[in-house]
Amino acid sequence: MTPLVIGRWAFLIGLILSVLAGLGGAIPGLTTILFVLGLIVGFLNVTERESTAFLVAVVALLVIGIAGLQLGGLTLVVTGILNNLIAFVSAAGLIVAVKEVLAMARQ
């Protein structure tokens, strides 16, 4: 299995787990699992050429997720899904942002 295939599977599994757990499925250690899957996605899925677009998407998802949680009045399902997506996406964004900073420092 190539790293790209592993990264794609990590992304797909992270999204599925985020939604399933938000729908009410109890998964022990879910935040840690999502964070590790996000790290894998950040390392293996995002190329240097895709970094800017990916980071913009991460910022948008995080802002939407956090703003949605701050608004209140959301159902427990939506709140759960947003919390899970924030854990997953923020880890991937962290890795890609660090990779970008290191790439800029090398130039």
pLDDT in tens, 48-101: 888 999 999 999 988 888 887 787 777 778 888 888 988 999 999 999 999 999
Q: What is the pTM of this model?
A: 0.85
Select the more confidently predicted residue: 74 or 31.
31
pLDDT reported for residue 79: 82
Return the biggest CA–CA distance within the chain. Answer: 47
For residues 52 and 61, give the distance between their C-alpha atoms in angstroms, rounded to a whole number.
Answer: 14
What does the block give as tokens for 57? 């998407």
pLDDT reported for residue 90: 92
Distance of CA 76 to the CA centre of its chain: 20
pLDDT reported for residue 32: 93
Provide the sign of the torsion angle of the four alpha carbons 61, 28, 25, 73, taken in this order: negative
Phi-psi region of 24 (alpha: psi -120 to 50; beta: other; left: phi over 0): left
pLDDT reported for residue 53: 92
